[in-house]
Amino acid sequence: MLNFEWVTPTKIIFGQGCLNRLGSETARWGKKALLVYGKNSIRDTGIYPIVMEQFAAASIQVTEHAGVKSNPILSHAEEGVRKAREAGVEVIVAVGGGSVIDESKGIAVGACHPEPLWDFYLRKLPVRKALPLIAVQTFPATSSELNQVSVLTNDRTGEKFSVRSNEIFPKVTFLEPSFTIHIPIQQTAYAVTDMLSHLMEGYFTQTRDFPVQDGLVEGMSRALMGAMETLLQDPTNLDARSDLMWAGAWAWNGLLKAGVEGASIPNHMLEHPLSGLYDIPHGAGLSIIIPAWLRYKKWEVTSRIVKFGKDILGLPDLPPHRNDISNRERMTYGSAVDRVIQEIVAWYRKIGTPTTLHEAGISHIDFGKLTEQALALCRLWGISGYTAEDISAIYHLAEK
């Protein structure tokens, strides 16, 4: 296992009625808050009045910043920065899903720096400080409630980039599973696809077996898929919703790939341009990209795909998981890999997520623009082994 440094300073408050502590926890960080949320969902579900009552009880002055998009955009974050500065905000409270929390992190950075906000997402500048952030997760998927990453789309250029800094970890995160019962099953499926991708990325790209991390990924993946199967039958099942909320927080906060040699995120590198340019749900983009990437890389990650099929999907009669596959075994293992990929595609379709660009309704595809942006992310994220030809070929495999 490689040397690593892993930090998670976020305080988690989980369970029924936990939001009754929002006022007191927020007041520890400031008395002037910027409340960031999406459109109408927190009002429709009754969360908004609870939040406002908590602020009033703690004598917290509130400036509201509503309207965060599902793929949060730079211009809206910049407007939030302006509001935060004008109101003298001391703390930011994000009430929503990963998009709301991601934009709130961007605002927390922008409010503390005179430089253009996008420069931090281009990695031109390091984050020196940020306003404290309180997160109330209402749509688990991205792990933004328990990590130090923020993703924004530049609505002027179509680029979807990220910033990473320990300064933007939420100080406190509230996880109230009953808040997620209202989420439509289609949106839940996108969220689960995103969570699974966070587990699958490192699992498929690591250079060898890591028993501790493999066991964590396999157990969490089975739990996520099992919870999704339950919710297909009973969308209001609180135990399944609780499992998704807790797994979603852990899937992408760094623990599961800490010390894992070779782990990288090529599927996110390929998906960000897709949802950035075509404004589709991130989870939908991932269920399109992952099968195409697996088909393109099947001979490089054969043993890991077979292990996924055996230990996560529970497929019978697969050949043994081995890293030293001989040439005479290639046909047997190739057939096994194809079977695993087919099962992954079938499961995506079962839960209602697209597996091709055409299924997502994207017919006019700018392969050149997609490839250009993915290459830019290769450089920004330090992902090696991909040429423009490789990237274009994967996008073409995802077409139909």
pLDDT at 328: 82
pLDDT at 327: 81
pLDDT at 331: 87
Summary mean pLDDT of the chain: 96
Same domain? For 195 and 116 the reply is no
Quickly state the pLDDT bin for 184 (edges 50, 70, 90). very high
Residue that terminates a domain, selected from 180, 208, 224: 180
Same domain? For 35 and 114 the reply is yes
Distance of CA 295 to the CA centre of its chain: 23
pLDDT at 321: 86
Q: Which whole number is the average pLDDT over 175-195?
A: 96
Of 305, 311, 312, nearest in space to 339 by CA: 305
Inform me whether the pLDDT recorded for 218 exceeds 90: yes
Same domain? For 143 and 268 the reply is no
What CATH number should be reported for the domain holding residue 241? 1.20.1090.10
Q: Is residue 5 part of a domain?
A: no
Residue pLDDT, tens place only, 360-370: 999 899 999 99
Q: Is residue 4 part of a domain?
A: no
Q: Is residue 147 part of a domain?
A: yes
Same domain? For 151 and 243 the reply is no
pLDDT at 397: 97
How far, in Å, CA of 83 to CA of 85, rounded?
A: 5
Of 352, 308, 287, 299, nearest in space to 329 by CA: 299
Same domain? For 39 and 163 the reply is yes
Inform me whether the pLDDT recorded for 400 exceeds 90: no
Q: Is residue 2 part of a domain?
A: no
pLDDT at 274: 95
Q: Is residue 286 part of a domain?
A: yes
Residue that terminates a domain, selected from 180, 215, 241: 180
Same domain? For 231 and 132 the reply is no
CB of 29 within 8 A of CB of 134?
yes
Residue pLDDT, tens place only, 69-122: 999 999 999 999 999 999 999 999 999 999 999 999 999 999 999 999 999 999
Distance of CA 250 to the CA centre of its chain: 11
Same domain? For 265 and 384 the reply is yes
**Total domains in the fold of the chain:** 2
Crossing angle of the two packed helices 302-311 and 330-351, in degrees rounded to 10: 50
Domain containing 57 equals 11-180
Of 156, 144, 98, nearest in space to 277 by CA: 156
Q: Which pTM was predicted?
A: 0.93
Same domain? For 150 and 249 the reply is no
Same domain? For 161 and 31 the reply is yes
pLDDT at 330: 83
Which amino acid does the sequence have at 306? V
Residue pLDDT, tens place only, 272-330: 999 999 999 999 999 999 999 999 999 999 999 999 999 999 999 999 988 788 888 88
What CATH number should be reported for the domain holding residue 22? 3.40.50.1970
Distance of CA 246 to the CA centre of its chain: 14
Query: What SS3 string covers the chain?
Result: CCCCCCCCCCEEEECCCHHHHHHHHHHCCCCEEEEECCCCHHHHCCHHHHHHHHHHHCCCEEEEECCCCCCCEHHHHHHHHHHHHHHCCCEEEEEEEHHHHHHHHHHHHHCCCCCCCHHHHCCCCCCCCCCCEEEEEEECCCCHHHCCEEEEECCCCCCEEEEECHHHCCCEEEECHHHHCCCCHHHHHHHHHHHHHHHHHHHHHCCCCCHHHHHHHHHHHHHHHHHHHHHHHCCCCHHHHHHHHHHHHHCCCCHHHCCCCCCCCHHHHHHHHHHHHHCCCHHHHHHHHHHHHHHHHCCCCHHHHHHHHHHCCCCCCCCCCCCCCCHHHHHHHHHHHHHHHHHHHHHHHHHCCCCCCCCCCCCCCCHHHHHHHHHHHHHHHCCCCCCHHHHHHHHHHCCC
pLDDT at 258: 93
Q: Is residue 314 part of a domain?
A: yes
Quickly state the pLDDT bin for 252 (edges 50, 70, 90). very high
Q: Which whole number is the average pLDDT over 57-73?
A: 97
Q: 333 or 324: which carries more pLDDT confidence?
A: 333
Same domain? For 63 and 160 the reply is yes
Same domain? For 170 and 26 the reply is yes
Inform me whether the pLDDT recorded for 356 exceeds 90: yes
As a whole-number percent, the residues of the chain with pLDDT over 90 amount to 95
Q: Is residue 3 part of a domain?
A: no
Crossing angle of the two packed helices 185-205 and 266-278, in degrees rounded to 10: 150
Same domain? For 173 and 189 the reply is no
Q: Is residue 1 part of a domain?
A: no
pLDDT at 389: 97
Residue that terminates a domain, selected from 123, 153, 180: 180
